[in-house]
Amino acid sequence: MNVLTVLGARPQFVKAAMLSRAFAKAGINETLVHTGQHYDARMSKIFFEELGIPVPEVNLGVGSGTHAEQTGRMMMALEKYLTNHSRPDALLVYGDTNSTLSAALVAAKLQVPLAHVEAGLRSFNRAMPEEINRIVTDRLSQWLFCPSRSAVELLNAEGIAQGVHFTGDVMYDVLLHYRPLARERYPLEKLVPFGRGSYFLLTLHRAENTDYPEQLGQMMALIKSLPLPVAWPMHPRTKERLARFKIAVPSNIHVMEPVGYIAMLALLDGAKAVLTDSGGLQKEAYWSERPCLTLRNETEWLETLENGWNTLVGADMDRVHEALQSPPTEQQKPWYGTGQAAEQITRILLQAD
């Protein structure tokens, strides 16, 4: 079986880590195409090297731009690539980025069967570009691989039932595989000037939080009010916005360059709690038994909200301080599978071959 995988943004590299390995093991012939959406070495290259992901056959070099520019350029380049190469049995995409959307549209128009890993997630907030990307991609997919049972239910509620599979979350597979390496490879003193359990870990990059000076300013005020110092591997997008809006970073924040996946697991392991607007980190915090304060008003990862492991705080300082004062008491549950999502996806694709 020949699978063409299209990826381009940091979270997709993480998701690819275990699936590419499972494909190789099962004899599936996978070709990777990198759209070039993320191009800084710290956002891309380090992940391929560290996680042993096969080198992409081609990098389309699309880079940044408005949504239409970025999506359009990707579609043009992908269409050309697909028409000049032998037709794959399936085109596979991950998650909800503009790379996902453009590949889904091109596959559908060229009638290449589409497989969507991380299908069925919804925030019900159409102001998020990722929400539009998910809805369209799910509509166009033949295989919809869902990380949770609630994702299956959400698809069913939209009338999508065929090709829908609950497989568990490939990100859980990846975390289980690499977690044992994190402490060994990255002792905390190599990463931050803080002791174990004495800092918060922050990430912030969503358009809704970074594109508006007032919102970004509010986020900084919120972080400044925290009772512990904060380690912040800063996304290039956020760095650019802070400079453009001339917003100062509060002095309790230790700003870092973006880190690789394994260093991120080590930072998470050492943190008291997490503040983030990332989707992936909400789950990684859950699986690592670290409370998470999500800097948004909705989440696609509903299960993490149970028992207070994750709290939606938006930009509301009172909600942040309330959440910090009521840590979770009960154990997490295995909502996102058993760590064998990659094997399950591989098996299902091979059945169709």
Catalytic residue IDs = 205
Q: For residue 59, count other CB atoms closer than 10 A to its CB.
A: 16
Return the structure tokens found at 20.
């590419």
Q: Given candidates 5, 20, 35, 37, which one binds ligand UD1 under the rule CB under 6 A? A: 37
For residues 132 and 111, the answer to whether their CB atoms sit within 8 Å is no
SS3 state of residue 57: coil
Interaction residues for ligand UD1, span 180-239 (CB under 6 A): 205, 235-237
Q: Does 64 bind ligand UD1 (CB under 6 A)?
A: yes
HSE of 234 in the Cβ direction (CA atoms, 13 Å)? Answer: 17
Rg (CA), the chain: 20
Binding part of the chain for ligand UD1, among 85-93, 95-103, 243-251, 338-346 by CB under 6 A, reads 95-103
Quickly list DSSP for 255-306: EE----HHHHHHHHHH-SEEEE--HHHHHHHHHTT--EEESSS--S-GGGGG
- Distance CA(299)–CA(306), nearest Å, equals 12
Q: Which is nearer to ligand UD1, 219 or 349 (CB)?
A: 219
Stretch that binds ligand UD1, among 33-41, 48-56, 104-112, 164-172 (CB under 6 A): 33-41
> Closer to ligand UD1 at the Cβ: 40 or 158?
40
34 forms part of the interface with ligand UD1 (CB under 6 A): no
Positions 115 through 154 that interact with ligand UD1 (CB under 6 A): 129-130
* Interacting residue with ligand UD1 among 3, 4, 7, 9 (CB under 6 A): 9
Q: Which is nearer to ligand UD1, 40 or 57 (CB)?
A: 40
265 backbone dihedrals φ, ψ, rounded to 5°: -65, -35
Strand order across the 310-312 sheet = 253-256, 230-233, 200-203, 273-276, 292-294, 310-312
The residue (of 100 and 148) whose beta carbon lies closer to ligand UD1 is 100
Exactly one of 1, 2, 26, 43 binds ligand UD1 (CB under 6 A); which one?
Answer: 43
98 binds ligand UD1 (CB under 6 A): yes
Asked whether position 40 contacts ligand UD1 by CB under 6 A, the answer is yes
List binders of ligand UD1 among 265-294 (CB under 6 A): none
| φ, ψ for residue 201, nearest 5 deg | -105, 130
Q: How far apart are the first and last CA of the chain?
A: 7
Q: Which residue's CB is nearer to ligand UD1, number 64 or number 125?
A: 64
| 299 is an interface residue for ligand UD1 by CB under 6 A | no
Residues forming the site for ligand UD1 (CB under 6 A): 9-11, 37-40, 43, 64, 96-98, 129-130, 205, 235-237, 240
